[in-house]
């Protein structure tokens, strides 16, 4: 059975050209980058060239780019540093953030008594900017605002410049989880009012286990991971050499092909939305599908029934990979905290379909046809 993979927001397949770039660093250039002899110098050169590539593409200074194990570590580092090093005693976040953010914030609230506020969400899932202003204005403590650039479940896009300028007005620190957008949109960090962003290679056809943390050059923090002088004394531990090479190559390819791939992927997403509306009675969509939304994600809500409650399981049996979570589900699966925050209707079953450059209209037709059988 040929499988159809529609869960690219979770991870993407490794691009062959990325693997080709990584292979020499798995074999010939195997030296520890901290070693001073030739093998080490070759590895170090590979890392620093990768850093320059990433910085150039994001329009940042190479000294602002730090390689990490991925988006989760990067978010943890930024949020903890804001409290530990930058004097933030008030955190403003939302109820639809990634768990890497939510759990970090909860831990700081419990262990250090940090005040936490949740910005209101509009009915379409976007941040209520007027309420964000109220929260910033209503505290005498320095605030950290941590809001994701694109929601990984419903795809809503934050106006990162508007939030950043608001933070600037109130001398707040701004961290944005950009895991779903680095590698998918152009960035101009020299002209973006943000202190921290993060990225993960496996979201844009790079390797797993490697990411970046951008730290604005005007921000000074101490290391989150201790034990060595790697990453300019900011992130201890021997570098993931071939992962770093792969991250830079994947970002380079994604940037070079942005126009072509984003148009193709968005066409697939909107085609599937139209086909679902035509063929599945009662279907609706979570988030701002036809507005400010990530072009890779389509979150569909189906009427709840005995069949639809088993929808993900039945899709998997038929070789279709997607992910989901409803406002209220039975058993061990607590459902999606994002969907619960936006829509408490227990009579809907939500499924996230997310696309890549490798997907086709024929695959969309096959999935919609199978959904017609399963509903």
In Å, what is the CA distance from 5 to each residue of 12, 15, 255, 271, 345?
Answer: 9, 15, 23, 17, 28
Q: What is the dihedral of CA 71, 75, 77, 80, to 10 degrees?
A: -160
Per the annotation, the verdict on 167 as an active-site residue is no
Residues 6+ apart with CB under 8 A from 141: 88, 89, 90, 115
User: Which of helix, strand or coil describes residue 67?
Assistant: strand
CA neighbor of 74 nearest in space, from 247, 163, 162, 196: 196
Tokens of 223: 């290391």
User: Which of helix, strand or coil describes residue 165?
Assistant: helix
H/E stretch holding 313 reads helix 311-317
Strand 348-354: give its sheet, edge to edge. Answer: 284-285, 297-303, 348-354, 323-324
What is d(CA 214, CA 174) in angstroms, rounded to the nearest whole number?
Answer: 12
Long-range contacts, 164-169 (Cβ 8 Å, 24+): 164/192, 164/193, 164/194, 165/193, 166/129, 166/132, 166/133, 166/136, 167/136, 167/143, 167/193, 168/193, 169/136
Question: Phi/psi at 147 (nearest 5 deg)?
Answer: -135, 135
Q: Which residues of 344-375 are buried (b: 16+ CB within 10 A; e: fewer)?
A: eeeebbbbbbbbbbebeeebbebbbebbeebb
CA neighbor of 76 nearest in space, from 51, 102, 110: 102
Identified catalytic residue from 88, 167, 321, 328: 328
Residue 210, sorted as left (phi over 0), alpha (psi -120 to 50) or beta, turns out to be beta
Active site amino acids: 328
């Amino acid at each position: 059975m040929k499988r159809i993979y529609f869960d690219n927001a979770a991870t993407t397949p490794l691009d062959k050209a990325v693997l080709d770039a990584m292979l020499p660093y798995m074999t010939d250039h195997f030296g520890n980058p901290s070693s001073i002899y030739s093998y080490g110098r070759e590895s170090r050169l590979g890392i620093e060239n990768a850093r320059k590539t990433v910085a150039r593409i994001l329009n940042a200074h190479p000294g602002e780019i730090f390689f990490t194990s991925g988006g989760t570590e990067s978010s943890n580092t930024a949020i903890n540093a804001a409290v530990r090093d930058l004097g933030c005693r008030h955190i403003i976040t939302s109820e639809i953030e990634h768990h890497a953010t939510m759990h970090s914030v909860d831990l700081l609230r419990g262990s250090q008594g940090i005040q936490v506020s949740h910005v209101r969400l509009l009915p379409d899932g976007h941040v209520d900017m007027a309420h964000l202003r109220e929260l910033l204005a209503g505290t005498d403590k320095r605030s950290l605002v941590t809001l994701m650039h694109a929601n990984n479940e419903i795809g809503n896009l934050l106006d990162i410049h508007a939030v950043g300028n608001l933070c600037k007005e109130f001398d707040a620190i701004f961290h944005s989880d950009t895991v779903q957008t680095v590698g998918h949109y152009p960035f101009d960090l020299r002209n973006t009012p943000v202190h921290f962003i993060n990225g993960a290679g496996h979201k844009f056809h790079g390797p797993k286990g490697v990411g970046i943390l951008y730290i604005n050059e005007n921000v000074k923090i101490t290391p989150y991971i201790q034990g060595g002088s790697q990453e300019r004394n900011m992130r201890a531990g021997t570098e993931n050499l071939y992962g770093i090479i792969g991250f830079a190559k994947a970002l380079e390819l994604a940037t070079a092909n942005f126009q072509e791939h984003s148009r193709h992927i968005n066409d697939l997403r909107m085609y599937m939305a139209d086909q679902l509306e035509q063929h599945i009675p009662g279907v609706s969509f979570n988030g701002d599908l036809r507005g400010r939304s990530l072009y890779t994600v389509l979150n569909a809500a189906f009427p709840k029934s005995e069949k639809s409650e088993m929808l993900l399981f039945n899709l998997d049996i038929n070789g279709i990979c997607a992910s989901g979570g409803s406002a209220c589900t039975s058993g061990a699966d607590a459902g999606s905290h994002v969907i619960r925050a936006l829509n408490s209707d227990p009579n809907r079953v939500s499924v996230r379909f997310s696309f890549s450059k490798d997907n086709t209209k024929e695959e969309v037709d096959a999935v919609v046809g199978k959904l017609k059988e399963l509903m």
